[in-house]
Amino acid sequence: MSFPWARHYEPKNPLTQWIDSRLPLPRFVYNAVGAGYPVPRNLNYFWNFGVLAGVALVVQIVTGIVLAMHFHSSAAGAFDSINATIMRDVNAGWFLRFAHANGASMFLLVVYIHIFRGLYYGSYKAPREMVWLIGVVIFLLLMATAFMGYVLPWGQMSFWGAQVITGFFSAIPVVGEWIRIWLLGGYAPDDAALNRFFSLHYLLPFVIAGAVILHIWALHIPGSSNPTGVEVKGEQDTVPFHPYYTAKDGFGVGVFLIVFSTLIFFFPDLLGHPDNYIPANPLSTPAHIVPEWYFWPFYAILRAFTADFIIAAKLWGVVAMFGSIILLFFLPWLDSSPVRSANYRPMYRVAFWVLVLDVLVLGYCGGSAATPGIVVLSQICAAYYFAHFLIIVPIISRLERPKPLPNSITEAVLGDKGGSRMTETAVSA
């Protein structure tokens, strides 16, 4: 679907006309990310992050394909193939490796901002539930891919990370241990596990790319949301994606690449752990097993469950950790407020910022050693996390009195943020 005023693709020269009548691929692109897609005119910079995530995916696939040409997926050869061959002998191998490792961090960073933007502006609400649901699927795929990629260098954290994560499955009653051995292809991570992780690590990015196409397709049915949360009323509310948002995204991509390059060229090991420069050793457990930073909040939730109640503490932790993401699938129905944007929801806005703080503290706890103080903090913050989604948001959406919404996007843009005056004429600046 598109708005009736969307521009139509009209191929001018005979060649493009010839192509269009046989395979209308240029028309498809024109309607998806070209002048044929009308977008609200008032999107702020937080709407750049979807495109940035797409850029990060392409960077990961391109660098990853070249790295795979030099990588040995064997327990005996993986560490040396990265730290000797790729880092020292392959032309610009150090660049590819650091770009890929830090690219994962940049990918997760922009995806987290993208998700929190969706939470703040209510982008998950009708009619965009499907966009949100596919987004959560992409997030899960992304986490699986990132985890399996981190195992491939076969350093100490790779090995013990694989040991811990596959250990989750042994929390399942009765068949858990059997499932863990089946997943690993052995009693501990070794060649079999490394090879299947490599295979899946190469496969999943393409699954993600497919899910991204569905994500964008689902977005194009209702069209993009916007910071007011008020739906598009007419042509004056929108601008064509190209050249308006292609230009704005060009600037956004530039800023993204500056931050990314600063990490790659000047601080490539900042986000990594020193222990992963030690070859994997099944006989020596690191003092602190810590995942990559983007898993810290979930790791804190996992470790917060220290009490057995009906089921074992470990199983509670695993259920809660997966549950903390699974519950995002239900968010469109947990939040029943018809108002989308938190700009007009005074109570929800407070709850949102408390949640941001809560997740940051969880992240801090997940990255620290599990001292009693840190565990207590994780337990409080994990409880708040579940309370936010399952108790606070459903209650707020009933109790809250939203502020008056602007009558239209154009009215909001022209200065009447609170909105009560009807705009008589649709002013197209």
Tell me the catalytic residues.
220, 224, 248-249, 292
Nearer to other proteins, 212 or 290 (CB): 290
Taking the complex as a whole, how short is the minimal distance between the CB of residue 266 and other proteins, in angstroms? 4
Instruction: Mark the segment that binds other proteins (CB under 8 A) among 52-60, 142-150, 261-269, 348-356.
Output: 261-269
Counting contacts by CB under 8 A, is residue 278 touching other proteins? yes
Question: Given its phi and psi angles, is residue 63 left (phi above 0), alpha (psi -120 to 50 degrees) or beta?
Answer: alpha
CB atoms within 10 A of CB 218: 18
Report if residue 414 touches other proteins, rule: CB under 8 A: yes
Quick one: which segment of 76-84, 118-126, 400-408, 417-425 binds other proteins (CB under 8 A)? Answer: 76-84
Is 382 a residue that touches other proteins (CB under 8 A)? Answer: yes
Asked if 45 is part of the footprint of other proteins (rule: CB under 8 A), the reply reads no
* From candidates 21, 174, 254, 398, binder to other proteins by CB under 8 A: 254
Q: Are 9 and 240 in contact (CB under 8 A)?
A: no
Smallest distance from other proteins to CB 379, Å: 4
Residues 6+ apart with CB under 8 A from 227: 42, 43, 44, 46, 121, 341, 343
3-state secondary structure of 239: strand
Nearest to other proteins of 187, 266 (CB atom)? 266
Q: For residues 104 and 239, which CB has a smaller minimum distance to other proteins in the complex?
A: 239
Tell me: does residue 48 bind other proteins (CB under 8 A): no
Tokens found for residue 259: 């931050």
Closer CB to other proteins, residue 55 or residue 211? 55
Q: How many whole angstroms from its chain centre is CA 196?
A: 24
* 191-to-77, 170, 198, 218, 414 alpha-carbon distances in Å: 10, 20, 10, 40, 62
Q: Is 13 exposed, middle or buried (CB count within 10 Å of its CB: 0-12, 13-18, 19+)?
A: exposed
Is residue 372 at the binding interface for other proteins, with CB under 8 A as the rule? yes
Residue from 258, 369, 399, 422 touching other proteins (CB under 8 A): that is 258
Site string for other proteins, 233-252 (x = CB under 8 A): ------x---xx--xx-xx-
Give the chain's length.
429
State the Cα torsion 392-393-395-399 to the nearest 10°.
120
Other Cβ atoms less than 10 A from the Cβ of 66: the count is 17
Minimum Å distance from CB 378 to other proteins? 9
Task: Give Cα 39 to chain centroid, integer Å.
Answer: 22
Interaction of residue 316 with other proteins, rule CB under 8 A: yes
Tell which one of 6, 33, 34, 41 touches other proteins (CB under 8 A): 41
Two structure tokens written together for 13? 């020269």
Of positions 3, 9, 46, 94, contacts other proteins by CB under 8 A: 94
Q: Any residues with CB less than 8 A from the CB of 117 and at least 6 apart, and which?
A: 46, 47, 49, 123
| Cα–Cα dist 373/194, whole Å | 36
17 lines the binding site for other proteins (CB under 8 A): no
Q: What is the 3-state secondary structure (H, E, C) of 335-393?
A: CCCCCCCHHHCHHHHHHHHHHHHHHHHHHHHHHCCCCHHHHHHHHHHHHHHHHHHHHHH
Give kind and range of the element (H or E) at residue 38. strand 38-40
Q: How far is the CB of 230 from other proteins (least distance, A)?
A: 15
Closer by beta carbon to other proteins, 40 or else 205: 40
d(CA 301, CA 111): 20
State both tokens at 120. 């703040």
Q: Tell which one of 268, 289, 312, 407 touches other proteins (CB under 8 A).
A: 268
Is residue 216 close enough to count as binding other proteins by CB under 8 A? no
Q: Tell me, residue by residue from 320 to 349, as one string, x for binding to other proteins by CB under 8 A and - for no binding.
A: x--x------x---x---------------
Nearest distance in Å: CB 66, other proteins: 16
Q: Using the rule CB under 8 A, which residue among 18, 182, 210, 262 binds other proteins?
A: 262
Closest distance between other proteins and the C-beta of residue 390, in Å? 3
CA distances from 282 to 149, 157, 178, 401 (A): 19, 11, 20, 58
Per CB under 8 A, 394 contacts other proteins: yes
Q: Which of 110, 194, 232, 304 binds other proteins (CB under 8 A)?
A: 304
Binding site for other proteins (CB under 8 A): 41-43, 80, 83-84, 87-88, 94-95, 98, 239, 243-244, 247-248, 250-251, 253-255, 257-258, 261-262, 264-269, 274-275, 277-279, 287, 304-307, 309, 313, 316, 320, 323, 330, 334, 371-372, 375-376, 379-380, 382-383, 386-387, 389-391, 394, 413-414, 429
